[in-house]
Amino acid sequence: MKMTKLLIPEKHEAISVLEDESLETNTIIDFVQKGYTILDRTLRPSKVVVSKKPQEN
């Protein structure tokens, strides 16, 4: 079973969004750059690619 992780704005920066109907909106698909934290304080957010549901016309 694959664990899914949702975007947390305080810890992640979404740099790209891909449409995927099989994933919940704001699910992290890929990490582009590692972030850094010290004592629960974010020094640099992780840069990530997230999913979104396709728009229905």
pLDDT in tens, 2-54: 556 999 999 999 999 999 999 999 999 999 999 999 999 999 999 999 999 98
Q: What are the b/e assignments for 22-46, b being 16+ CB within 10 Å? A: ebeebbbeeeeeeeeeeeeeeeebb
1 within a domain of the structure (yes/no): no
pLDDT band of 1, cuts 50, 70, 90: very low
Residue 16 counted as domain residue: yes
Q: Count the helices and strands in the chain (H runs, E runs).
A: 0, 5
- Domain span at residue 19 reads 12-48
In this structure, is residue 7 part of a structural domain?
no
* Chain position carrying tokens 């449409």: 19
Residue 44 lies in a domain: yes
The total domain count for the chain is: 1
Residue 37 domain flag: yes
